[in-house]
Amino acid sequence: MLVFDTDLESRIAIAHSLRTRFRSQGADSVERALSQWRSSRPALVLVDLVLEGGSGLEVLVEIRRNSQVPIIVTATDDRPESCVLALRLGADDYVARPYELSVLEARIDAVLRRTAAQSQPTKLGCPDHLEIDVESHQVFVGADEVRLTRIEFNMLAHLAANPRQVFTREQLLEAVWLSRSDWQAGATVTEHMRRLRTKLGTAADHIKTVYGRGYRLDLCAQVNPNSNTRLQPLAS
Protein backbone atom coordinates (compact mmCIF):
# COMPACT_ATOMS: atom_id res chain seq x y z
CA MET A 1 0.00 0.00 0.00
CA LEU A 2 1.22 3.49 -0.86
CA VAL A 3 0.17 6.46 1.30
CA PHE A 4 0.88 9.88 -0.20
CA ASP A 5 0.33 12.68 2.32
CA THR A 6 2.30 15.69 3.53
CA ASP A 7 1.26 14.93 7.12
CA LEU A 8 3.77 12.44 8.53
CA GLU A 9 1.55 11.69 11.55
CA SER A 10 -1.31 10.74 9.24
CA ARG A 11 0.92 8.41 7.23
CA ILE A 12 2.16 6.74 10.40
CA ALA A 13 -1.35 6.40 11.84
CA ILE A 14 -2.71 4.83 8.65
CA ALA A 15 0.24 2.46 8.34
CA HIS A 16 -0.12 1.41 11.98
CA SER A 17 -3.87 0.91 11.69
CA LEU A 18 -3.50 -1.34 8.63
CA ARG A 19 -0.21 -2.98 9.58
CA THR A 20 -1.69 -6.51 9.80
CA ARG A 21 -3.03 -6.24 6.24
CA PHE A 22 -0.60 -4.13 4.23
CA ARG A 23 3.05 -3.24 4.05
CA SER A 24 3.06 0.54 3.70
CA GLN A 25 5.31 3.05 2.00
CA GLY A 26 4.77 6.78 2.13
CA ALA A 27 5.72 10.00 0.38
CA ASP A 28 4.92 13.68 0.84
CA SER A 29 5.55 15.13 -2.64
CA VAL A 30 4.34 14.53 -6.18
CA GLU A 31 7.85 13.64 -7.37
CA ARG A 32 8.52 11.12 -4.58
CA ALA A 33 5.02 9.69 -4.88
CA LEU A 34 5.41 8.96 -8.59
CA SER A 35 8.88 7.55 -8.02
CA GLN A 36 7.54 5.13 -5.41
CA TRP A 37 4.65 4.20 -7.66
CA ARG A 38 6.94 3.34 -10.59
CA SER A 39 9.16 1.13 -8.42
CA SER A 40 6.39 -0.89 -6.73
CA ARG A 41 3.21 -2.84 -7.41
CA PRO A 42 0.88 -1.81 -4.58
CA ALA A 43 -2.50 -3.36 -3.82
CA LEU A 44 -3.89 0.06 -2.89
CA VAL A 45 -3.02 3.77 -3.15
CA LEU A 46 -4.17 6.49 -0.73
CA VAL A 47 -3.40 10.00 -1.97
CA ASP A 48 -4.12 13.36 -0.39
CA LEU A 49 -5.13 16.28 -2.59
CA VAL A 50 -2.32 18.46 -1.22
CA LEU A 51 1.26 17.30 -1.84
CA GLU A 52 4.55 19.15 -2.02
CA GLY A 53 5.28 20.30 -5.54
CA GLY A 54 1.74 19.99 -6.83
CA SER A 55 -1.63 18.31 -6.42
CA GLY A 56 -2.48 14.75 -5.54
CA LEU A 57 -4.69 14.81 -8.63
CA GLU A 58 -1.51 14.80 -10.73
CA VAL A 59 -0.51 11.54 -9.06
CA LEU A 60 -4.02 10.14 -9.53
CA VAL A 61 -4.06 10.92 -13.26
CA GLU A 62 -0.56 9.53 -13.88
CA ILE A 63 -1.28 6.27 -12.05
CA ARG A 64 -4.65 5.86 -13.73
CA ARG A 65 -3.05 6.19 -17.17
CA ASN A 66 -1.13 2.99 -16.53
CA SER A 67 -3.02 0.99 -13.93
CA GLN A 68 -6.42 0.08 -12.50
CA VAL A 69 -5.04 -0.24 -8.96
CA PRO A 70 -7.63 0.91 -6.36
CA ILE A 71 -7.07 4.59 -5.47
CA ILE A 72 -8.72 6.45 -2.60
CA VAL A 73 -8.35 10.24 -2.42
CA THR A 74 -8.29 11.82 1.03
CA ALA A 75 -8.68 15.57 1.55
CA THR A 76 -9.62 18.32 3.97
CA ASP A 77 -11.66 19.73 1.09
CA ASP A 78 -15.23 18.46 1.51
CA ARG A 79 -16.76 20.45 -1.36
CA PRO A 80 -18.91 18.30 -3.68
CA GLU A 81 -17.15 19.65 -6.78
CA SER A 82 -13.75 18.46 -5.50
CA CYS A 83 -15.13 15.00 -4.82
CA VAL A 84 -16.77 14.85 -8.26
CA LEU A 85 -13.54 15.92 -9.99
CA ALA A 86 -11.45 13.28 -8.23
CA LEU A 87 -13.96 10.53 -9.05
CA ARG A 88 -14.17 11.59 -12.69
CA LEU A 89 -10.38 11.52 -12.94
CA GLY A 90 -10.38 7.88 -11.83
CA ALA A 91 -10.48 7.73 -8.03
CA ASP A 92 -12.42 4.79 -6.60
CA ASP A 93 -13.49 6.74 -3.52
CA TYR A 94 -13.10 10.14 -1.87
CA VAL A 95 -12.83 10.50 1.90
CA ALA A 96 -13.04 13.97 3.46
CA ARG A 97 -11.20 14.82 6.65
CA PRO A 98 -11.48 14.59 9.54
CA TYR A 99 -12.31 10.88 9.45
CA GLU A 100 -12.05 7.97 11.86
CA LEU A 101 -9.49 5.33 10.89
CA SER A 102 -12.18 2.69 11.31
CA VAL A 103 -14.27 4.50 8.68
CA LEU A 104 -11.29 4.70 6.32
CA GLU A 105 -10.65 0.97 6.76
CA ALA A 106 -14.29 0.18 6.00
CA ARG A 107 -14.11 2.31 2.84
CA ILE A 108 -10.93 0.46 1.83
CA ASP A 109 -12.70 -2.87 2.30
CA ALA A 110 -15.59 -1.72 0.13
CA VAL A 111 -13.29 -0.50 -2.66
CA LEU A 112 -11.23 -3.70 -2.65
CA ARG A 113 -14.35 -5.89 -2.81
CA ARG A 114 -15.79 -3.83 -5.64
CA THR A 115 -12.63 -3.69 -7.74
CA ALA A 116 -11.93 -7.40 -7.21
CA ALA A 117 -15.41 -8.29 -8.47
CA GLN A 118 -15.07 -6.02 -11.51
CA SER A 119 -11.67 -7.38 -12.53
CA GLN A 120 -12.41 -11.07 -12.13
CA PRO A 121 -12.65 -12.90 -15.49
CA THR A 122 -15.55 -15.23 -16.20
CA LYS A 123 -13.49 -18.38 -16.56
CA LEU A 124 -10.06 -19.40 -15.36
CA GLY A 125 -8.05 -22.47 -16.22
CA CYS A 126 -4.91 -24.45 -15.59
CA PRO A 127 -3.26 -27.57 -16.96
CA ASP A 128 -4.92 -30.96 -16.35
CA HIS A 129 -8.11 -29.39 -17.72
CA LEU A 130 -8.91 -27.57 -14.49
CA GLU A 131 -11.69 -25.13 -15.32
CA ILE A 132 -13.16 -22.58 -12.92
CA ASP A 133 -16.38 -20.92 -14.01
CA VAL A 134 -16.77 -17.85 -11.82
CA GLU A 135 -20.33 -17.06 -12.85
CA SER A 136 -21.81 -20.52 -12.30
CA HIS A 137 -19.53 -21.39 -9.36
CA GLN A 138 -18.55 -24.66 -11.00
CA VAL A 139 -15.18 -26.40 -11.13
CA PHE A 140 -14.24 -29.17 -13.57
CA VAL A 141 -11.21 -31.44 -13.60
CA GLY A 142 -11.32 -32.91 -17.08
CA ALA A 143 -14.95 -33.78 -17.78
CA ASP A 144 -15.78 -34.29 -14.10
CA GLU A 145 -17.36 -31.62 -11.97
CA VAL A 146 -15.77 -31.17 -8.54
CA ARG A 147 -18.17 -30.19 -5.78
CA LEU A 148 -16.68 -27.47 -3.60
CA THR A 149 -18.06 -25.51 -0.69
CA ARG A 150 -18.47 -21.75 -1.14
CA ILE A 151 -15.29 -21.05 0.80
CA GLU A 152 -13.28 -23.66 -1.11
CA PHE A 153 -14.49 -22.27 -4.44
CA ASN A 154 -13.75 -18.65 -3.49
CA MET A 155 -10.26 -19.57 -2.28
CA LEU A 156 -9.46 -21.45 -5.51
CA ALA A 157 -10.89 -18.68 -7.71
CA HIS A 158 -8.91 -16.03 -5.82
CA LEU A 159 -5.64 -17.91 -6.32
CA ALA A 160 -6.42 -18.61 -9.99
CA ALA A 161 -7.32 -14.98 -10.70
CA ASN A 162 -3.85 -13.96 -9.44
CA PRO A 163 -1.52 -16.58 -10.98
CA ARG A 164 1.89 -17.07 -9.36
CA GLN A 165 1.14 -14.45 -6.72
CA VAL A 166 1.87 -15.69 -3.21
CA PHE A 167 -0.88 -15.11 -0.65
CA THR A 168 -0.26 -15.42 3.07
CA ARG A 169 -2.86 -17.04 5.28
CA GLU A 170 -3.68 -13.58 6.61
CA GLN A 171 -4.31 -12.26 3.09
CA LEU A 172 -6.54 -15.22 2.27
CA LEU A 173 -8.51 -14.68 5.46
CA GLU A 174 -9.11 -11.11 4.34
CA ALA A 175 -9.95 -11.89 0.72
CA VAL A 176 -12.03 -15.06 1.15
CA TRP A 177 -13.46 -14.91 4.67
CA LEU A 178 -13.52 -11.06 4.88
CA SER A 179 -11.85 -11.62 8.24
CA ARG A 180 -8.51 -10.90 9.91
CA SER A 181 -5.91 -12.93 11.75
CA ASP A 182 -6.70 -11.22 15.04
CA TRP A 183 -10.30 -12.44 14.70
CA GLN A 184 -9.75 -15.86 13.13
CA ALA A 185 -6.89 -18.38 13.27
CA GLY A 186 -4.71 -18.93 10.21
CA ALA A 187 -5.19 -22.66 10.77
CA THR A 188 -8.65 -22.16 9.23
CA VAL A 189 -6.97 -21.47 5.89
CA THR A 190 -4.64 -24.47 6.26
CA GLU A 191 -7.53 -26.89 6.86
CA HIS A 192 -9.64 -25.55 3.99
CA MET A 193 -6.63 -25.71 1.67
CA ARG A 194 -6.10 -29.37 2.64
CA ARG A 195 -9.73 -30.19 1.82
CA LEU A 196 -9.56 -28.28 -1.47
CA ARG A 197 -6.45 -30.14 -2.58
CA THR A 198 -8.01 -33.49 -1.72
CA LYS A 199 -11.05 -32.74 -3.87
CA LEU A 200 -9.00 -31.49 -6.84
CA GLY A 201 -6.95 -34.68 -7.09
CA THR A 202 -4.11 -34.42 -9.62
CA ALA A 203 -5.04 -30.80 -10.41
CA ALA A 204 -4.08 -29.94 -6.83
CA ASP A 205 -0.42 -30.11 -7.90
CA HIS A 206 -0.75 -26.59 -9.27
CA ILE A 207 -1.45 -25.13 -5.82
CA LYS A 208 1.99 -24.60 -4.36
CA THR A 209 2.90 -24.12 -0.72
CA VAL A 210 5.59 -21.45 -0.38
CA TYR A 211 7.02 -22.36 2.99
CA GLY A 212 7.13 -19.52 5.47
CA ARG A 213 4.96 -17.34 3.22
CA GLY A 214 1.72 -18.91 1.97
CA TYR A 215 0.19 -20.32 -1.21
CA ARG A 216 0.15 -19.64 -4.93
CA LEU A 217 -1.40 -21.24 -8.02
CA ASP A 218 0.92 -21.81 -10.99
CA LEU A 219 0.37 -21.88 -14.73
CA CYS A 220 -3.02 -20.20 -14.90
CA ALA A 221 -4.50 -18.71 -18.02
CA GLN A 222 -7.66 -16.75 -18.68
CA VAL A 223 -10.22 -18.47 -20.85
CA ASN A 224 -12.24 -16.62 -23.46
CA PRO A 225 -15.60 -16.15 -21.69
CA ASN A 226 -17.40 -16.40 -25.04
CA SER A 227 -15.94 -19.79 -25.82
CA ASN A 228 -18.01 -22.92 -25.24
CA THR A 229 -15.05 -25.27 -25.53
CA ARG A 230 -13.27 -26.96 -22.68
CA LEU A 231 -9.74 -25.95 -21.83
CA GLN A 232 -6.80 -27.51 -23.55
CA PRO A 233 -3.66 -28.26 -21.48
CA LEU A 234 -1.15 -25.45 -21.39
CA ALA A 235 2.48 -25.99 -22.26
CA SER A 236 4.71 -26.30 -19.23
Distances (CA, A) of 26 to 5, 18, 42, 86, 102: 7, 13, 12, 20, 20
The count of structural domains within the chain is 2
Query: Is 51 among the domain residues?
Result: yes
- The domain boundary, picked from 87, 118, 149, lies at 118
Which residues constitute the domain of residue 164?
A: 123-223
Query: Is 50 among the domain residues?
Result: yes
Q: Of 106, 107, 105, 82, give the one whose Cα is nearest residue 93.
A: 107
What is the per-residue pLDDT across 167-222, written as a single tens digit (0 to 9) for each?
A: 999 889 888 887 776 677 778 899 999 999 999 998 888 899 998 889 998 864 44
Within this chain, do residues 137 and 92 fall inside the same structural domain, yes or no?
no
Interatomic CA distance for residues 104 and 111, integer angstroms: 11
Interatomic CA distance for residues 209 and 47, integer angstroms: 35
Q: Is the pLDDT of residue 97 over 60?
A: yes
For residue 191, what is the domain's CATH number?
Answer: 1.10.10.10
Q: Could you tell me the pTM of the whole model?
A: 0.54
Interatomic CA distance for residues 12 and 3, integer angstroms: 9
Range of lowest pLDDT (64-73, 84-93, 226-235): 226-235
- The domain boundary, picked from 72, 89, 118, lies at 118
Band (120; pLDDT cuts 50, 70, 90): low
Interatomic CA distance for residues 173 and 226, integer angstroms: 32
Top-confidence residue, 164 or 154: 154
Within this chain, do residues 109 and 138 fall inside the same structural domain, yes or no?
no
Query: Is 236 among the domain residues?
Result: no
Within this chain, do residues 111 and 130 fall inside the same structural domain, yes or no?
no
Query: Is 233 among the domain residues?
Result: no
Within this chain, do residues 48 and 94 fall inside the same structural domain, yes or no?
yes
pLDDT of 183 = 76
- The domain boundary, picked from 84, 118, 152, lies at 118
Interatomic CA distance for residues 47 and 69, integer angstroms: 13
Within this chain, do residues 109 and 26 fall inside the same structural domain, yes or no?
yes
